[in-house]
Amino acid sequence: MTAPPSHDPRHDPRQARQWIAQAARIAVLTGAGVSAESGVPTFRDAQTGLWTHFRPEDLATEQAFRAHPQRVWDWYAERREMLRGVQPNAGHHALTAFQQRHPGRLTLITQNVDGLHQRAGSTGVLALHGNLSADRWLDPCALARRPQDACPVERAEPGRPPHCAQCGNLARPDVVWFGEMLPAETLAAASRAARECQVMLVAGTSGQVYPAAGLALQARQAGAKVIVVNPAPTELDEVAHAVLTGTSAQLLPELLDGQ
Ligand code: BJW
C-alpha cells in the first residue's frame, strides 16, 4: 500500500521546515493563490479564476487596452475597488513576521499586483508584475521636451481613463501585461535572490507564467532546495524537492512560525 503523502519526505512539512531553519538565505516566490484566502480571485483556478470569465488577450495586453481602453479600464477599476475591501491573511503575515525576526534573510518576490504583502508590512518586496493601484502613461509624451517627462496636463473624468488634454495620451494601470518586459531592475534583483538562496519557497502560483516561473528553475540549478506550497498540482512540482499540499494561509505559518 502506498504511504499517505504525509509520510513521504517529499510531502513532509517537517523536512521543509528544517531546510528553512538551515538556510542563510531564503527566496520566496508568491502568486495569486497567496491572496485567495483574502478573497482576491486567482487567474487560472477553475470556476473562480479571472481567466475563467475573461480571455487574457482581451484584457491583459497593450493591444487590448489600445483597442478598448474603456473596457480594460473598467475591469481594472472593478478589481481596484474589490481590493479596498480585503486584508492580508495569515500567509502574508507569516512572511512578514519571519522577515522581521530575521532581517535580510528572506527576499520576497511576488507576481501579485494587489499590494497585500506590502500592506502586511513586508519590506523590499520585488513586485515583478507591477502595482494594480497605480497608473502610468501609455505612451511617452508627444509634447514633453525630454522623453522621461510626463504629460503636462491630465484630465480625469469619473469612470474614464485619465488622459492628457494636450496630446490625448491615456493613463493605464501600472501592471505588466502579456508581451511586455518586466521591470528590469526588479527582475535582476529577483534573479540574484534566486541564484543566491539555499531555499526557494514557491507559494500560490501555477508556475505557468514566465519569466517569473523560471526563477524556481534558476534556484534549483544554483543548488537551492525548492519547496512548493499549493493545494493543487503546479507546473513547478517536478522542479521541487518538496511539494506541500495545502493552502498558503495554513502552510506558510506552519513552515515559518517559531523559527
Ligand atoms: C492557492 C490557494 C491558496 C489557490 N493557497 N495556493 C517562455 C515560455 C512560454 C511563454 C513565455 C516564455 N517567456 C515569456 C512568455 C510569454 C508570457 C508567458 O509566460 N506566457 C505563458 C502564459 C504561456 N510572458 C510574458 O509575456 C511576460 N513578459 C515577457 O516575457 O517579456 C519578454 C517578452 C516580451 C515580448 C515578447 C516575448 C518575450 C509578462 C507576463 C505578465 C503577466 N501578467 C499577469 C497580469 C498582471 C496584471 C493583472 O493582474 O491584470 O500577471 S497574467 C497573470 O498571471 C498575472 C499573474 O501574476 C501571473 C501568474 O499567475 P499566478 O499568480 O500563478 O496565478 P494562477 O491563477 O495561474 O495560479 C494560482 C495558483 O494558486 C494555482 O496554482 C492554485 O492552485 C493556487 N491556489 N488557492 C495557495 N489558498
Nearest by Cα to 45 from 239, 208, 212? 208
How high does pLDDT run on average in the chain?
93
Cα–Cα distance for residue pair 192/186, rounded to 1 Å: 10
pLDDT reading at 111 higher than 50:
yes
Give pTM, 2 decimals.
0.95
| CB-based contact 212:111 (threshold 8 Å) | yes
Q: What is the pLDDT of residues 120-178, one digit of tens each?
A: 999 999 999 999 999 999 998 777 777 667 787 777 888 899 888 888 899 999 999 99
Which residue's C-alpha comes closest to atom 13 of ligand 1? 210
Q: What is the pLDDT of residues 127-136, one digit of tens each?
A: 999 999 999 9
State residue 3's pLDDT score: 43
State residue 1's pLDDT score: 37
State residue 257's pLDDT score: 98
For ligand 1, residues with CB inside 6 Å are 31-33, 36-37, 42-45, 49, 60, 111, 113, 129, 175-181, 204-206, 208-211, 230-232, 234, 247-248
More confident residue, 153 or 94: 94
Q: Which atom of ligand 1 is nearest to the CA of 206?
A: 73
Q: Which atom of ligand 1 is nearest to the CA of 45?
A: 66
Mean pLDDT of 110-115: 98
Mean pLDDT of 96-122: 98
Cα–Cα distance for residue pair 109/28, rounded to 1 Å: 6
